[in-house]
Structure 1
Amino acid sequence: MKELLKKKEANPKALNLEEAVIGGILIDPNCLEDIIDIIEPEIFYKLKNKEIIKVIRTLYNNSEPIDIYTVSNELKKIGKFNVVGGDLYLTKLTNNRISSANIEYHSKIIKNKFILRQLIETSYEIIKLSQEEKSDVLDLLNYAEMKLFKINNKTNLKDTTKSINSLIKTTINNLKTNVKNLNGIPSGFRDLDKITCGWQNSELIIFAARPGMGKTSFALSMARNIVVNFKIPILIFSLEMSATQLVTRLISAETGIPSERLKYSDLSKLEWKLVNSKIKSLSEAPLYIDDTHYLSIFDLRCKCRREISKNKIKLIIIDYLQLMTSGKLETLPNLPREQEVSFISRNLKAISKEFNLPIIALSQLSRAVETRGGRKRPILSDLRESGALEQDADIVTFIYRPEYYGFTNWDNGENESCKGEAELIIAKNRNGRIDNVRIKFVNENVNFSNLNLE
């Protein structure tokens, strides 16, 4: 096996098709419109062909004519004319052309051969690392998945363009399946769901707040609503708290017993009976928790793929975004933290689209909130470390409790008490209206619920 992998001549390739595709372009450059997103120079096996494709793409990007003469002149300008074999080789290519009707099909074959070469190279690298036994097994698994993820991202062989006819049919079918005007995953918070129509597939939703506002508790309250009331599978990535701590909070919210008393088992026999009866619905709920303390965007993607396949996950919650990293194995050395958060944000949005499910990420707000005078209500510019969060997110919601800052009333001029209440400030909603929603907050067991339950 090892010897086979090292034999270069055994690598998959289609040299005749490489020459035929380039020849077809030189004869009929109009065919480039159909294959320009496929024929990257790196997919060609032969160095001569790589250099010629580079020149063809340069001419295409500059909106210049493409034929044997313009390509020849450009190769001379950049000093690659002799490298590719001069006019003799270019003439040979035009004599070996294929029909423009089949050029897209043949271009995909060339790309498939490139992907196979990449898989062979990656496989050999993993074999070598495994034989050396110098890496942690889990790190090596994550590295292998990351490398395969990169290869997968290079394929671009799927047809992602859809006609309006097919899109309308899909949309109408989705609308017909709506329940009570919700076509997404309900949060369980009545007034919030009226605005969002539930969390939609491929959306990135940010819930942001200052420490102490109850971000994690709100996420847990929402998760409990979804998995217990609607039986929808959820995966929570908890980077700050352990899985046991999260479950203790869930039990506290479910039973009404403060988490401090649960932590120290300071319960009467009656309270233990209450715990045992109340946790049955929780124990049967499709809730999954990953409390990995170090989580890169590539780790996240790999874990999501596994859990979606295994447990049919429909919603992902991350607590919280600023504790994630861009990763230690990819080539992103010495990135400023703001750029790293931007990288994470963009990739979270990409993952939500790839797996076609909503991702809810909790986020810290900057200290600017604390230094601001007045009611200290958060605004979009308070998003910590990156303006990309505002740009990438479909929905940005702030969790705000004026009681935390010592206020006793809401700032509506009606002297309305804010005791035991919180506000969800929907500051951005790409597909809906911006509004504020009030919910109930129980400080004793740090739990959120609907106001004025019907």
Structure 2
Amino acid sequence: MAEQLSFHSSGSDAYGGKLRLPPQNIEAEEAILGGIMLDPEAIGRVSDSLIPEAFYISAHKDIYQAALRLYSQGKPTDLLSVTSWLTDHEILVRIGGRNKLATLVDRTVSAVNIDAMAGLVMEKYLRRQLIKAGNEIVHLGYETETELPQVLDQAEQKVFQLSNQSFGSNTEHNSTITIAAYKELDSGSPIYSTGLDELDNLMVGFEGGTLTIVAGRPSMGKSQISLQLALKMILLHDLPVAIFSLEMTKKQLEYRLWSLISVTNAYKHLGLTPLKSDRIRRHRAKFQPLADWEFTLIAKIVDIASELPLYMNDSRGITVSQIASECRQIKAKEGKLGLVVVDYLQMMAEDSGGNRSYELGDVARGLYKMAGELDVPVLALSQISRGVEGRQNKRPMMSDLSQSGILEMVADNIILAYRDEYYNPDTTEQGILELIMAKARHGETGTATVFFDKSYGIIQNLR
């Protein structure tokens, strides 16, 4: 790499300052190239945002350009293909030969974080460009023979060009936007129904890039709501779903899923016997061992569950960036992702010891940003203040949300869950779950009333 380093760590520049290496991240460059040759989907995730000139090492630039050429021709970018292309164009020796390429692949574990690595490389490139522009502006300042307005204009152009390269790519003329919006009517990104008619009437459905918050007091059924909506996304739209649970383990979620499957209409033709959600726990606690027929039933349910495109993660300390990384990996594997569930917000913001409102806000904003970047709907569960317990009418309001100001601002939809039978055992509203749509950025506020059977975790339309 020595031939690439045109700067030295010692000595002085023309103005007496100590020379330093330009900003660069060689390890990130190597990880990107290794990922591209390791994962056939990887280059599609960075080709629009990462330019060849961003690579600090010229050999890395040549390898990346070779991969881009192959990708543009619809050809694979694996080690063999890249080696062949570089050989055919007499570049292989210049980049360090086959050993250089093999080393890049050997050092790379996966391409999961390739988006983040590309961001790092582009950042270093833009910093180098800023240094270059700064030096050119300094020289302009010394050109006293040039009129000052002309010098200022030239200096402004240099900074503008850099700023435009960094931030202007997402700003489009409305003629471009309107064509894309029109095309989306027939294809593009559809909005997916939730399977609950009254809820769909209010929020229309799940749309990519949106954040929906389901909030409620404990035992209101938030986790069951999210599991029901996850299963509906799979059954109605044949889309993969990822659940990140900071409260329950993967196996606990799985047992609830088995119960839900046993009473779901989509599997009614299989003649499954309803399996209560606490049945497995009672068996494991030796209170009521499973009978032979129940083992047979569960075996059938397991066969069904194992075929679902459902991913679960129960890491208690997971961060938003880690969730995003996992989702990118799932999306790369499946080709698409229908819904991301996070259970629940407060658990992600409780351990740093700082201002809780800011921490929760950072989590919510991070999930909202992730939804946009991945173009998937995100469903996040949230606790609400215990202040509702002191009111005569215990139906939650948006102001009952923990640190409600932050969540109100960030969320596209806010659904508040309420079951009157929890507070009033003699109510006439037995088995009724109210989904109070407190905020609907692209829909209507109101209340969707559904049937909820806690024994099985099933939520159904009343009509």
Q: Deviations over 1:330-375 (max 9, x none)?
A: xxxx63011111121122211111111211110100111112223x
The 5 Å alignment of 1:279-428 reads 279-311=302-334, 312-325=336-349, 335-374=354-393, 376-409=394-427, 417-428=428-439
2:433–2:451 CA contact under 8 A, matched in 1: yes
Matched, 1:107 2:161: yes
Matched, 1:88 2:142: yes
For 2:3 and 2:392, how far apart are their aligned partners in 1?
Answer: 70
Deviation, 1:274, is 2.2
For 1:237 and 1:403, how far apart are their aligned partners in 2?
Answer: 29
Q: Deviations over 1:70-126 (max 9, x none)?
A: xxxxxxxxxxxxxx79963676897997997x9579934x998xxxxxxxxxxxxxx
**CA, structure 1 residues 379+279, in 2 after alignment: closer, same or farther (shift >3 Å)?**
same
**CA, structure 1 residues 250+188, in 2 after alignment: closer, same or farther (shift >3 Å)?**
same
Residue type of the partner of 2:301? K
Deviation, 1:234, is 0.9
**CA, structure 1 residues 302+325, in 2 after alignment: closer, same or farther (shift >3 Å)?**
farther
Deviation, 1:315, is 1.6
Matching residue within 290, 294, 304 for 1:267: 290
For 1:170 and 1:200, how far apart are their aligned partners in 2?
Answer: 17
Structure 2 match to 1:127: none
SS across alignment from 1:433: coil
Residue type of the partner of 1:316? V
For 2:363 and 2:150, how far apart are their aligned partners in 1?
Answer: 46
1:319–1:362 CA contact under 8 A, matched in 2: yes
| Unmatched 5+ stretches in structure 1 | 15-38, 53-83, 113-154, 329-333, 410-416
**CA, structure 1 residues 336+98, in 2 after alignment: closer, same or farther (shift >3 Å)?**
closer
For 2:351 and 2:324, how far apart are their aligned partners in 1?
Answer: 12
1:239–1:319 CA contact under 8 A, matched in 2: yes
Deviation, 1:427, is 0.5
For 1:298 and 1:89, how far apart are their aligned partners in 2?
Answer: 48
1:239–1:293 CA contact under 8 A, matched in 2: yes
SS across alignment from 1:387: helix
SS across alignment from 2:396: coil
Deviation, 1:48, is 6.2
The 5 Å alignment of 1:130-209 reads 155-156=166-167, 159-177=169-187, 183-209=190-216
| Unmatched 5+ stretches in structure 2 | 10-19, 25-52, 54-124, 263-273, 284-288
2:202–2:437 CA contact under 8 A, matched in 1: no
Deviation, 1:251, is 0.4
Structure 1 match to 2:77: none
SS across alignment from 2:185: helix
For this pair of structures, how many residues does the alignment match?
336
Residue type of the partner of 2:414? V
2:260–2:457 CA contact under 8 A, matched in 1: yes
Deviation, 1:177, is 4.8
2:420–2:429 CA contact under 8 A, matched in 1: yes
SS across alignment from 1:236: strand
Residue type of the partner of 2:322? D
**CA, structure 1 residues 86+308, in 2 after alignment: closer, same or farther (shift >3 Å)?**
closer
For 2:412 and 2:325, how far apart are their aligned partners in 1?
Answer: 23
Deviation, 1:12, is 7.0
SS across alignment from 1:449: strand
For 2:386 and 2:351, how far apart are their aligned partners in 1?
Answer: 26
Structure 1 match to 2:268: none
Deviates more, 1:244-253 or 1:223-232: 223-232
Deviation, 1:165, is 3.1
2:385–2:400 CA contact under 8 A, matched in 1: yes
Residue type of the partner of 2:408? E
Structure 2 match to 1:247: 254
Q: What's the TM-score once normalised by structure 1's chain length? A: 0.64
Q: What's the TM-score once normalised by structure 2's chain length? A: 0.63
Q: State percent identity of aligned pairs.
A: 30
SS across alignment from 1:305: helix
**CA, structure 1 residues 327+210, in 2 after alignment: closer, same or farther (shift >3 Å)?**
closer
Deviation, 1:47, is 10
For 2:307 and 2:454, how far apart are their aligned partners in 1?
Answer: 27
Matched, 1:444 2:455: yes
Structure 1 match to 2:301: 278
Deviation, 1:269, is 2.1
For 1:342 and 1:95, how far apart are their aligned partners in 2?
Answer: 46
For 1:86 and 1:2, how far apart are their aligned partners in 2?
Answer: 32
For 2:456 and 2:303, how far apart are their aligned partners in 1?
Answer: 19
- Root-mean-square deviation over aligned CA pairs: 3.8
1:316–1:358 CA contact under 8 A, matched in 2: yes
SS across alignment from 2:191: coil
**CA, structure 1 residues 222+87, in 2 after alignment: closer, same or farther (shift >3 Å)?**
closer
Matched, 1:431 2:431: no
For 1:335 and 1:170, how far apart are their aligned partners in 2?
Answer: 43
2:319–2:348 CA contact under 8 A, matched in 1: yes
Structure 1 match to 2:84: none
**CA, structure 1 residues 293+193, in 2 after alignment: closer, same or farther (shift >3 Å)?**
same
1:254–1:279 CA contact under 8 A, matched in 2: no
Q: Deviations over 1:153-203 (max 9, x none)?
A: xx436x21233333333333333359xxx9412222122123222111111
